[in-house]
Structure 1
Amino acid sequence: MSQTPPNAPPPQDNTAPQMPVSPEEAEAAQAAGEAEAQAGLQAELVTLKAQNTDLADQYLRAKAEAENARRRAEEEVSKARKFAVESFAESLLAVADSLEAGLAVQEATREQLREGTEATLKQLKSALERHKVVQIAPVAGSKFDPHQHQAISMVPADQEPNTVVTVLQKGYLIADRVLRPALVTVAAPK
């Protein structure tokens, strides 16, 4: 910290001398400053109102666009369901036609009936497979799978416990999801 010696002349003020201001001039200067500030605030208010209007418009447009997108999505889902069922029904028409043709035959041998039934069953299986409906047909001795099989009973058997003994009814999957579990009997623990 520097100290000035006691005999040193006082520091000189380099600022311009101030002129005395009359109260009227001070009041006029203050009024001019307030008017300028108010004009600035008015301009800012106009700008903010314009931005607010613009944002409100953008919000309404975005809201309408979201509503339209939701409605279009619902329509698409509805159409997809409708056409999925339509496609599946169309694939079953050939099966219905075959059954009607078989019933229209007045005289047929047992072998002809069997051949016709087997051909119709083949058509049905093909139609199901086209729509990703696949059989669950466990073989005797395979491990019991509670996700794909439904145990009707446990029976004593000469095989590993918790394995399939007999299949009472085949099950079905649709696109890897169980439509109906296979009904089975299961080997009881020894």
Structure 2
Amino acid sequence: MQNNDPQSHGEAFEQSAADAAAAADLAALQARVAELEASNAELLETVLREKAELENQRRRLHRDLEQARRFANEKLLNELLPVYDGLESGLAVEGGDLASMREGINLTLKALLKVAENHGMAQVDPLGQPLDPERHHAVSMVEAPGQAPGTVVSVLQKGYVLNDRLLRPALVAVAKD
């Protein structure tokens, strides 16, 4: 029995057109999925490369920081070597007069102070200045005729400042009222 119904041919044609459209949509969707998967793989690879680069930078920074810590005092110590050599050669001298020994020690002290100054350290020597509690520590008050009260009349121990920051206050005696 053959179906000669004109409506069933139309339905079959519509069905095959719908199947063709569905197949085309499916193919387009599959192509889009493949495109998105490729894009996703590319993005994942980029993220992994960036992550590896960041990790390498972190390691380099850590290594550089460690090197900087280990050798931070290299310049200072290099500048101190002549002072060290001067002290050693002064100690190696057998005999000699007190004046030349004293001069050698004075030169060595000057060299040491120069190195300290090169690295931002300065002495606080307040002799004759008014007492500054921020930089001086008064350990005694003494009679000092001719000096204004509160004036530093003797320095028991010099103070030191590093780049405007007090390392050690000067120990001083001041004039009484």
Asked if Structure 1 and Structure 2 have the same fold, meaning a TM-score greater than 0.5 normalized by the shorter chain, the answer is yes
The residue aligned with 1:112 is 100
Question: 1: CA distance between counterparts of 2:131 and 2:136?
Answer: 14
- CA shift in 2, pair 1:152/1:37, >3 Å: farther
**After superposition, what is the alpha-carbon deviation per residue over 1:15-72, rounded to whole angstroms, capped at 9, x for unaligned?**
xxxxx78322222222222211111111111111111111111111111111111222
> Which structure 2 residues correspond to residues 5-24 of structure 1 after superposition, within 5 A?
22-24=10-12
The residue aligned with 1:99 is 87
Among candidates 52, 59, 65, match of residue 53 of structure 2: 65
Q: Aligned AA for 1:113? A: M
Among candidates 128, 132, 135, match of residue 143 of structure 1: 132
Among candidates 68, 78, 93, match of residue 80 of structure 1: 68
Kept in 2, the 8 Å contact 1:141–1:165? The answer is no
Matched residue of 1:172: which SS?
strand
**After superposition, what is the alpha-carbon deviation per residue over 1:107-126, rounded to whole angstroms, capped at 9, x for unaligned?**
22222221111001011111
Q: Aligned AA for 2:121? A: V
User: Based on CA coordinates, which of the two structures has the bigger radius of gyration?
Assistant: 1
Q: Aligned AA for 1:79? A: Q
In the alignment of these two chains, the number of paired residues is 163
Which sections of structure 2, spanning at least 5 residues, go unmatched? Answer: 1-6
Q: Aligned AA for 1:103? A: L
Q: What TM-score does the superposition give when structure 2 sets the normalisation length?
A: 0.74
Kept in 1, the 8 Å contact 2:124–2:170? The answer is no
Question: 1: CA distance between counterparts of 2:115 and 2:158?
Answer: 17
The residue aligned with 1:90 is 78
Kept in 2, the 8 Å contact 1:137–1:170? The answer is yes
Q: Aligned AA for 1:144? A: P
The residue aligned with 1:180 is 167
The residue aligned with 1:15 is none
Answer 1 or 2: which has greater helix percent.
Answer: 2
Q: What TM-score does the superposition give when structure 1 sets the normalisation length?
A: 0.69
Kept in 2, the 8 Å contact 1:144–1:186? The answer is no
Question: 2: CA distance between counterparts of 1:152 and 1:26?
Answer: 109
Question: 1: CA distance between counterparts of 2:173 and 2:153?
Answer: 5
Question: 1: CA distance between counterparts of 2:61 and 2:107?
Answer: 41
State whether structure 2 residue 158 is matched by structure 1 residue 170: yes
Q: What is the RMSD of the two structures over their aligned residues, measured on CA atoms?
A: 3.1
Matched residue of 2:71: which SS?
helix
Kept in 1, the 8 Å contact 2:131–2:152? The answer is yes
Which sections of structure 1, spanning at least 5 residues, go unmatched? Answer: 1-19
- CA shift in 2, pair 1:125/1:47, >3 Å: same
